[in-house]
């Protein structure tokens, strides 16, 4: 399956997906990495792995819709079948999201539906939660909503700052995203009635999300 990855910055989740695609038996291959920021560090990661990259700078577009139309055109031109948002910091128009319905994944650094949006780790600390984590879900027009494929739990430890907590969650993200992507690529995670159903090796169905226990 041909995957398109959308990034805006550092690209550590992209790096995790690149590593996963190199594993034997992984049936996905990253066909294109698109950044909306010309200086995103993730672009160099893709280039070093020999993956085609493209910058589509949102500042060059008059509207969200024209930017999204160019994104869609580039993904389709590369034969992309599944889009993975990996630290992509643009809100996508409803039209784009609907075109890729059930063919677009996102990773968010919290246990959704808690702490949607930005400054997630500071908000988790301010709220005094003991457990946080990360979520991979299919994308829907509402930000950080959509059927959940997999979640990993991460403890909040005494003395954590937003930075130390972010680093611990990021480590879990790097495990969770490849795992969730593999389920989707292998047809083992399917959306039914806006919930993800997991299908095991003998075809038995269980409700998602796949749960990954706490990463210390």
**Catalytic amino acids?**
108
CA distance 110 to 93: 23
CB of 65 to ligand GRF, least distance (A): 23
Sketch the per residue contact string, 82 through 121, with ligand GRF: x for CB under 6 A, - otherwise.
----xx-------------------xxx------------
CB of 105 to ligand GRF, least distance (A): 12
Binding mask 39-78 for ligand GRF (x = CB under 6 A): ---x------------------------------------
CA nearest 170: which of 44, 35, 10? 10
Which H, E and C letters describe 153-181, residue by residue?
Answer: EEECCCCCCHHHHHHHHHHHHHHHHHHHH
Which of 82, 148, 149, 173 touches ligand GRF (CB under 6 A)? Answer: 173
Q: Which is nearer to ligand GRF, 11 or 146 (CB)?
A: 11
Binder among 2, 12, 90, 171 for ligand GRF (CB under 6 A)? 12
**Whole-angstrom Cα distance, residue 54 to residue 35?**
6
82 - beta bridge partners? 3
Contacts of 208 (CB under 8 A, 6+ apart): 147, 148, 149, 150, 189, 195, 196, 197, 198
Say whether residue 133 binds ligand GRF (CB under 6 A).
Answer: no
Q: Which of 75, 148, 170, 215 binds ligand GRF (CB under 6 A)?
A: 170
Q: Using CB under 6 A, which of the segments 9-17, 24-32, 48-56, 122-130 binds ligand GRF?
A: 9-17
10 binds ligand GRF (CB under 6 A): yes
- Give the distance from CA 145 to its chain's centroid: 12
Using CB atoms within 10 Å of the CB of residue 88, give its burial: 0 to 12 exposed, 13 to 18 middle, 19+ buried: buried
Considering only the stretches 5-13, 19-27, 53-61, 94-102, report the one whose residues sit in contact with ligand GRF under the rule CB under 6 A.
5-13
Interface residue with ligand GRF, options 4, 11, 133, 146 (CB under 6 A): 11
Choice between 165 and 185, CB closer to ligand GRF = 165
Separation of alpha carbons 145 and 157, rounded Å: 27
Task: Please list, residue by residue across 54-64, b when 16 or more beta carbons sit within 10 angstroms of its beta carbon and e when fewer do.
Answer: bebebeebeeb
Is the bond leading into 209 cis (omega within 30 degrees of zero)? yes
Binding site for ligand GRF (CB under 6 A): 9-13, 42, 86-87, 107-109, 170, 173
């Amino acid at each position: 399956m041909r995957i398109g990855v959308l990034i805006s910055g550092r690209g550590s989740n992209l790096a995790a997906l690149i590593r996963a695609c190199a594993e034997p038996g992984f049936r996905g291959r990253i066909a294109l990495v698109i950044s909306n920021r010309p200086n995103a560090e993730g672009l160099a990661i893709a280039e070093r792995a020999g993956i085609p990259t493209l910058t589509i700078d949102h500042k060059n577009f008059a509207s969200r819709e024209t930017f999204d139309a160019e994104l869609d055109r580039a993904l389709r031109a590369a034969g992309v079948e599944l889009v993975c948002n990996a630290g992509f910091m643009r809100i996508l128009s409803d039209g784009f999201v609907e075109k890729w319905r059930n063919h677009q994944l996102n990773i968010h650094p919290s246990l959704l539906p808690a702490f949607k949006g930005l400054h997630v780790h500071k908000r988790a600390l301010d709220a005094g939660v003991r457990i946080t984590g990360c979520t991979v879900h299919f994308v829907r027009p509402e930000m950080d909503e959509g059927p959940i494929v997999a979640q990993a739990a991460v403890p909040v430890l005494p003395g954590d700052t937003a930075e130390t907590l972010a680093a611990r969650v990021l480590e879990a993200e790097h495990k969770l995203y490849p795992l969730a992507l593999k389920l989707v690529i292998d047809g083992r995670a399917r959306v039914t009635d806006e919930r993800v159903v997991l299908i095991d090796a003998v075809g038995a169905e269980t409700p998602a999300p796949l749960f990954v226990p706490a990463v210390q």
